[in-house]
Amino acid sequence: MMDNILVTGATGFIGTNLTRALLSRGYKVHILCRPSSNIWRLEDIKDKIILHHIDILDKASLNSTSEKIFPSYIFHLAAYGAYPRRQTDSKKIHDINVTGTANLLEATKSIPYKCFINTGSSSEYGPSSLPMKETDKLYPNTDYGISKATATLLCQKFAQDNQKPVITLRPFAVYGYYEEAFRLIPHLILNCLRGDDVELSSGEQKRDFVFIEDMVDAYIKAMSCDSKEGIVLNVGTGLDIPVREVAELVKSLAGSSSSLQFGKKEKALFETSSSWKADLSTVKKSINWKPKTSLKEGLKKTIAWFRENAHLYK
C-alpha cells in the first residue's frame, strides 16, 4: 500500500506543484485547507486528492483529522504574510505561521511518520552581503521573516526533544507554474505576452531565483532524510540575479514589444540592494540535492506554461 501523505498549504503556488508531483508518484495525498480557501489551482485534480476542510488553528479538529489520516509523510506549507504588500495583518502572520506550526507538530506527535518537512523562508536571514548559511545568525526585517524564523526554531526544538525526523527547507525566490499573477515573474510574463508596458522598480535588487521543478525535487529528496536534529536546508541556486536582468530576459524570451519601465514603482521598504543568495553546501551534503535548471531554461518553461494557461489568470 502506498504511503498516506498530509500536505498543508496545498492550494498555494508551491503546494500545488508539490501535490501534483506526489500524485504522479502514486501517493495518496490528503490536503488540509480552510473552508474559505480558493482551490482553483487544484480544480482539475480535486477528484484525485482527499480534501479536509480544517483550519490549523482549530486544535481539536486538527488532532482528530491527523489521527484519522495517520500520514507517513507531512509537508507543511501553510503560511501567511509572504506577500508583504498584501498580507499585512501581524496577528494573523503570527497565528498561522507560529501557532499553526506548533499545533501541527503536536497533533502529529504520536504518529510514527517517516519525515515532517516544514517550509521556512530565506526571509528568516534578513539582509546579507554574503551567501546565506543555515548556521548564520538571523536578522529578519519583516514580521513574516520573524514568524518563519520562530517556526523553524520550534521545529528544531521539537525534533530534538522528541527524537522526531522534522526538517525545514528554506526556499529562496521560487518561480514557475501557478505562481500568483502579482508576483514579479508572472507579472512580467503576463504583461509581455499581452504586449502591455510593465511598470517596475529600479531593478537593482538581487534575488536567488530557483525554478519550481527544482524546489519540488528538494521536497521529494527530503523525504529520505531521517535526521532528528531539526536540520535546516537552503533551497536556492547560489546565484543572485538583478531584477532588471530577469525582466530583460523575460521580455526577450517572450518575443515581446512591451516597454520595461524601470523606476516607475517605488522599492518596498523591506527590499534591499545587497546580495541575497543561498549557500548550498549543507543541502548538497544532507539530501544530495542541487538545482538542475538554469534561469534561462526555467523562464522558457514558465513562459510556455503561462502562454498555454493565461486563461487561469483572467
| 117-129 pLDDT, tens digit each | 999 999 999 988 8
Fold exhibited by the domain 180-207+239-276+294-313:
UDP-galactose 4-epimerase; domain 1 (3.90.25)
The pLDDT value given to residue 282: 98
User: Domain limits of the chain?
Assistant: 4-174+209-236+282-287, 180-207+239-276+294-313
Cell of 38: 480558493
The pLDDT value given to residue 275: 79
Q: How confident is the model at residue 233 (pLDDT cuts 50, 70, 90)?
A: very high
User: What digits encode the pLDDT tens for the residues 49-100?
Assistant: 999 999 999 999 999 999 999 999 999 999 998 876 777 789 999 999 999 9
The pLDDT value given to residue 111: 98
For residues 221-232, give the mean pLDDT: 97
3-state secondary structure of 160: helix
For the cut 90, the answer to whether the pLDDT of residue 145 exceeds it is yes
The pLDDT value given to residue 87: 78
- Yes or no: domain 4-174+209-236+282-287 corresponds to CATH 3.40.50.720: yes
The pLDDT value given to residue 270: 54
For the cut 80, the answer to whether the pLDDT of residue 259 exceeds it is yes
For residues 24-44, give the mean pLDDT: 95
- The pTM score is 0.96
What one-character-per-residue DSSP string does 210-241 give? EEHHHHHHHHHHHTT---SS--EEEES-S--E
Q: What percent of the chain has pLDDT over 70?
A: 97
Please give the single-letter amino acid code of residue 285: K
Look-up of cell digits 519540488: 216
285 Cβ contact partners less than 8 Å away, ≥ 6 residues apart: none
Q: How confident is the model at residue 265 (pLDDT cuts 50, 70, 90)?
A: confident
